[in-house]
Structure 1
Amino acid sequence: MENFKMVAKTLFGFEEILAKELTQLGAQKVEQGTRVVSFVGDKGFMYKANLALRTALKILKPIKTFKAYNDKSLYDGIQKIDWSDYLTEYKTFVVETTLHSEHFNHSQFVALKTKDAIVDQFRDNTGKRPNIDKDFPDLRIHVHIDRDLVTISLDSSGESLHRRGYKTATNIAPINEVLAAGMLLLSGWDGTSHFIDPMCGSGTILAEAAMIACNIPANINRKEFAFEKWQDWDSELFDKVLESLFKKTREFHYTITGYDKAPSAVAKAKDNIRNANLDEYISIRQANFFETEKMTEGPLHMVFNPPYGERLDIEMERFYREIGDTMKQKYPNTHAWFITANLEALKFVGLKPSRKIKLFNGKLEARFVKYEMYAGSKRTKFQIDN
């Protein structure tokens, strides 16, 4: 099978960990950009990337690049592609656009010109034309224009890969699955200790933590990928790729625990974990983090997404001070990480973070912070280690 270039889209701040994921999966010529990582692989690797990558939002397959300065040169460039390789007149398609150009600044206009060029080619050659279907198209076409460089790609994923397929119930401020997985990988979570999410909401961080710990492919619960409707879809190859990924799953010998104060959140989290077939690894119970303490011996890995005050009515200063007090007094020998978009509230935690990483939760600029809780003082730990 021949190799070709692909582009994986991701969230800001995850480029390096996505590049690492791709390298570990076996990709060639891995190169980081801004919110994207390009790589080379064959069709089987494209299937594998969609199934296994935790921090990718989409996998695009570029099929043509050309220069365009106006609507005519855009139309002509798209007409030069032989669309019968990817579509028939009886199939449907949709065009999505990303523009960073002075020549083109209206995405709907670019989508319309692209559609016209494709439809006209079929009408000239067959007398018939494929139709647009925005909801369930047979082919998703992506047009990326950077200044005067146009890249036409096929979207192999379809719906964003953060939609893993296990989440049916969400809370008031749910966290995106790709954001959760990326945070876990940035935190160094690898399944070699106990894990806790003390404010687990609908259970996303717990599910992603279990899949990382057991090396379960991230998108194993997805109903479909866009490439399944492509003309060169190979279901036997897909099954082989799936089987090879399953052979690489591993056993997990620790505990993964979630707490939430709200009974409704606990019920939703349990439903989602059951949907993901991960309930044998994860236990969830109703509890107020501030009234809990560390229940396990040895190191503990903690990652959570506390309220920011954006959509929840709580007294931030007191709340974040209680986070700091609880971690300090009740959770010794713990690597604690959390994300917040309330940068002011961080001051009230009362602890100095050992790391601070800029991320975005949706459109909100956030910080992903690490606090190291030692048993005894730092000085004692240093003396023991040395």
Structure 2
Amino acid sequence: MPESDTFEFYASASPGTEKALCDELRELSFQSVRLNRSGIPFRGPRSEGWRACLESRIAQRIFLVISRFQASDQDELYKGVQSIDWSPYITNDHTLSISAFCAASNINHSGFAALKTKDAIIDQLRGTGTARPDIDKDDPDVRIFVYILKDKATVYLDLSGNALHRRGYRPESGEAPLRETLAAAILRMSGWDRKTPLVDPMCGSGTIAIEAAQWARNIAPGLSRSQFGFERWADFTDEDSQELRQLIGSLRSQASGTAPKIKASDIDSSVLETAASNARSAGVRLSFKERSLFDIQGDGRPGFIVTNPPYGVRLEADTDFCRKAASAFTRLHGWTVAILAGDPDLERAISTKPKTKLPLKNGDLDCHLLVYEID
């Protein structure tokens, strides 16, 4: 794939974070960025796909679009997949993972679509004398995704490898961790300007504070990763590897040493050592303290709280906790308070109407980002 060619990419987003991802990609100067449901398309040379993996804080995965074709039945799907030249991506030494999604189409079973895709790829490789590649659902060299909507198929390759929330700085976490990509999204959606002091009084494993510090210091989130999926493709050469190292070096040089005051605390002392270890791995200096949310005090100057309280199945629901938390938040006059709330009791306990209420998904849990401006 020549670097001068223009490719189409697709950045997938957690439900509710699409606009935040679109704004982020535009801010990062990606081209032909469009707001779309569930994800954001953009275009550019292939190195722009690499850069998106390194720089996007919000994208779940980055995909390369390699083909579109009519797929009204299994024969059309098979022929369409087999018409793709797979040699730039796959050799007999590679392992594959193939998944599919079907909607409003004659082919309505995702497992069947994935199986026909696998058959077409393997038959093409056999025809060229290449041995059959193995399937590996856990850690494949090449991840392939087929999306069929209204009998039209789009075939994607996943550049990411492991999902992009796996930054590489958090090998372990406290109970019910918040994904890094969602933490980055709620920081942006909260309206935080990367200059105002920020507090997370229920920090758990430290994800919100770490993501805030990296964003404020312009530390690219992918710099902690050991590898991306595209590095395992057949056509990723030594020259490509050198170009990638140069890109990584350029991004490292853009990081700044300054950030606003960011404080993180939790009443559970057992998670704080893990949080501190995660921060060190992420390359940010943060102080984590054992402290109750109810002890937080403002100092008369503006500040931000961005936090993910315990809720629902995450920890046992406690209506008394919700009432006390609401009281603590409303004492912070002049502050902005952004809460990823999955427990409706917490929203009901805060008498102030939120300035912003946005539906989100935290894993399989429905929740809302509630943003309050405390007078």
1:373, CA displacement in angstroms? 2.2
1:306 corresponding residue in structure 2: 309
Q: Work out which of the residue numbers 232, 253, 263 in structure 2 matches 1:257.
A: 263
Deviations 1:333-370 (A, max 9, x none): 21111011122431112222222111111222211111
1:68 corresponding residue in structure 2: 71
Gaps of 5+ in 1: 375-386
* 1:149-228 equivalences in 2 (<5 Å): 149-228=152-231
| One-letter code aligned to 1:287 | R
Is residue 53 of structure 2 the alignment partner of residue 47 of structure 1?
no
1:315, CA displacement in angstroms? 2.2
1:323 corresponding residue in structure 2: 325
Q: Could you tell which deviates more after superposition, 221-230 or 360-369?
A: 360-369
1:99, CA displacement in angstroms? 2.0
| Structure ID, larger Rg | 1
TM-score (normalised: structure 1): 0.91
| One-letter code aligned to 1:262 | D
2:351 corresponding residue in structure 1: 350
1:92 corresponding residue in structure 2: 95
Q: Work out which of the residue numbers 22, 26, 30 in structure 2 matches 1:27.
A: 30
1:229, CA displacement in angstroms? 0.8
Q: Work out which of the residue numbers 266, 271, 274 in structure 1 matches 2:272.
A: 266
| One-letter code aligned to 1:99 | C
1:173, CA displacement in angstroms? 1.8
Q: 1:105 to 1:201 in 2, by over 3 A?
A: same
| One-letter code aligned to 2:55 | A
1:90, CA displacement in angstroms? 3.1
1:241, CA displacement in angstroms? 1.3
Deviations 1:202-249 (A, max 9, x none): 111011010111111012111210011123321111112112222322
Deviations 1:82-102 (A, max 9, x none): 222322233222212222233
2:290 corresponding residue in structure 1: 286
2:105 corresponding residue in structure 1: 102
Deviations 1:82-135 (A, max 9, x none): 222322233222212222233223222211111111111121221632222223
| One-letter code aligned to 1:14 | T
What is the root-mean-square deviation of aligned Cα atoms in Å? 1.6
For the residue of structure 1 that corresponds to 2:76, the secondary structure is helix
For the residue of structure 2 that corresponds to 1:311, the secondary structure is coil
1:269, CA displacement in angstroms? 1.2
Deviations 1:156-181 (A, max 9, x none): 10111011111122222211111100
Q: How far apart, CA to CA, are the structure 2 residues paired with 1:201 and 1:371?
A: 22
Q: How far apart, CA to CA, are the structure 1 residues paired with 2:208 and 2:246?
A: 29
| One-letter code aligned to 2:323 | R
Q: Could you tell which deviates more after superposition, 200-209 or 347-356?
A: 347-356
Q: Percent identity?
A: 37
Structure 1's consecutive aligned runs of 4 or more residues displaced over 3 angstroms after TM superposition are none
For the residue of structure 2 that corresponds to 1:336, the secondary structure is strand
Q: 1:72 to 1:251 in 2, by over 3 A?
A: same
For the residue of structure 2 that corresponds to 1:136, the secondary structure is coil
Q: 1:217 to 1:297 in 2, by over 3 A?
A: farther
Gaps of 5+ in 2: none
Q: Work out which of the residue numbers 122, 127, 133 in structure 1 matches 2:125.
A: 122
Q: Does structure 1 retain, via aligned residues, the 8 Å contact 2:217–2:259?
A: no
1:253, CA displacement in angstroms? 4.4
1:83 corresponding residue in structure 2: 86
Q: Could you tell which deviates more after superposition, 318-327 or 41-50?
A: 318-327
Deviations 1:259-308 (A, max 9, x none): 10011121221121122121x2x1110011102323x5632111001111
